[in-house]
Amino acid sequence: MRPEQKKSPSDRKPIPVTRPFLPPLAEFIPYLERIWESRWVTNGGPQHQELERALCRYLNVPFISLFNNGTNALLTALQALDLPEGSEVVTTPFSFVATAHAIKWNRLTPVFSDVEPTHGNLDPATIEAAITPRTRAILPVHVYGNPCDTAAIADIAERHDLKVLYDAAHLFGVTRPARPPLRDGDLSVLSFHATKVFGTFEGGAIVCSSEAMKKRIDSLKNFGFTGETTVAEVGMNGKMNEVQAAFGLLALTHIDEALARRRAVAERYTAALAGIPGIGIVRPSVGVTPAWPYFPITVEAAHLGKSRDDLFEEFKRHDILPRRYFYPLISSFAPYRDLPSAAPEKLPVAARFAEQVLCLPIFPDITGEEIERTITVIKAT
C-alpha cells in the first residue's frame, strides 16, 4: 500500500448538519411498480390517500391534507383562515424565512414579537403586547420541535378573538402526555422536506380538526376546484405526487427506528457537552418526547473564549458543517427590515439566540466516529 493511500483529514467526507434518511432502494421498488402499473401518478391517487390515512393514525390527528412542500401548505393554511387583506399576523423573527413569506404572500402584515430564552419560541407575553385592533391571527413556530406554550397562546387567542396557525415544520415525531401539540390552534403545518425527521424529498401537510376544513383545503390546493366544472375560489397547485407519497409510506415503516437513532445521538451529545462552560444545550421540556430534528447548542463567547462564529469556522476547518439555524433573523432580511416591529432593539432575545445558536450534525445514520469528531472540536476549544 502506498503511503499516500492512507486517509488524511482532508480526504474525509464532510459531515453535513443533516442527511435525508433513505431506506434501502430495493424496498422502494415495489411502491414504484404499483405506481407504474396503475398509471396514476398525481392528483390525489391511491398512495396519496393511503399516506393521509397512515399519517392521521401515526400522528394521532383527525385530518391531514398533503402538500408538495411546507411553504405551499403554509400559504394555503393562511388563505383558509380567511383573514381580511392587510390584517396583522403576530409571528416570530426566529424561524426559517418561509414562515414570514407565507404571511406576505397572503397580503397580510407580519408583526414580529420576541421569543422566550429557553427554546426560542414566541413568548406569550410579547405576543399580547404586539396585538393591535388590526391583528387577526398568531403564527407561532415550534422551533426545533420544542412545543410552544400552546395553552397560553390559546388563552390570548380566545381573549382577542384571533386565529392560530402553528408552523409545525419541525414537530414531526414529538409527543407529550397531554394532547398532541399538532391538535392545538386552528391549523398546523408540517414540512416533509428531505432535511426533516420525516421526509418525502419535498412535501408538507396541513393538520385540521374538521372534515369541512379539510375539504376546503383540498380544494384550495387543487386550483380551487370543488367539482369537475366548478371553481369556487382562487387556489394553487399544492398537490403531492404519487412518488412522493409512496416514499412517505416507505419512510413511515422506518420512522420509529429513525427517531430512536436520533434520540441516541442526542443523548451522546448531551452527555459529552453538558457542563462545558459557555456551551448551552437547547433541551426539550420535561415530559416531552423529542424527535431531535436539530441538535441546537448555544455559545457564550465570554465563557467559552470563542464566539459562535469562531466555533463555526473551526468546525469548517475540520470538515464539519453545522448550521446557524436561524441566523440572520427574518426581521433583518430586506422584505421585512423596514417594518416597525423589525427594529432589533424590540427583539433582544431573538437577536441573542440568532447570534449564539449552532445546530450540530444529527441524522439517523451519522456514525459514532462522526459524532465523536464533532464533540472533539468543541472540547478542544
Interface residues with ligand T4K (CB under 6 A) are 16-20, 69-71, 95-96, 98-99, 141, 167, 169-170, 191, 193-195, 204, 321, 325
**Shortest spacing between CB 99 and ligand T4K, in angstroms:** 5
- 291 CB-contact burial (10 Å; exposed 0-12 / middle 13-18 / buried 19+): buried
Say how far apart CA 94 and CA 76 lie, in whole Å: 22
Least spacing, CB of residue 268 vs ligand T4K, in Å: 20
Closest to ligand T4K by CB, 304 or 377: 377
Residue nearest to ligand T4K (CB): 70
Nearer to ligand T4K, 245 or 278 (CB): 245
Q: Which residues pair with 88 in a beta bridge?
A: 109, 135
Helix (H) or strand (E) holding 26: helix 25-38
Can you tell me whether residue 139 is helix, strand or coil?
strand
C-alpha 168/C-alpha 64 separation (Å) is: 13
Q: Which amino acid is at 207?
A: V
The smaller minimum CB distance to ligand T4K, of residues 83 and 98, is found at 98
Query: Rounded to the nearest whole angstrom, what is the least distance from the CB of residue 112 to ligand T4K in the complex?
Result: 15
Task: Between 235 and 322, name the residue whose CB sits nearer to ligand T4K.
Answer: 322
Contact 381, 313 (CB under 8 A): no
Query: Whole-angstrom Cα distance, residue 254 to residue 241?
Result: 21
Give one DSSP letter per residue of 212-265, joined into a string. HHHHHHHHHTBTTEEETTEE-S---B-PPPHHHHHHHHHHHHHHHHHHHHHHHH
Name the minimum Å distance from CB 302 to ligand T4K: 28
Residue 283 to residue 295: CA distance in whole angstroms:
9
Nearer to ligand T4K, 194 or 301 (CB): 194
Tell me how far, at minimum, the Cβ of 79 lies from ligand T4K, in Å: 16
Instruction: Choose between 199 and 278: whose C-beta lies nearer to ligand T4K.
Output: 199
Q: What are phi and psi of 88, to 5 degrees?
A: -95, 145
Q: CB of 312: closest distance to ligand T4K in angstroms?
A: 13
State the minimum distance, in angstroms, from the CB of residue 245 to ligand T4K: 15
By C-beta, is 124 or 199 nearer to ligand T4K? 199
> What does DSSP say about strands 357-360 and 204-208: parallel, antiparallel, or unpaired?
unpaired
Nearer to ligand T4K, 18 or 106 (CB): 18
Residue count of the chain = 381
CA dihedral defined by 81, 82, 84, 90, rounded to 10 degrees?
Answer: 0
Cell numbers representing residue 64 in the block = 391531514
CB of 363 to ligand T4K, least distance (A): 8
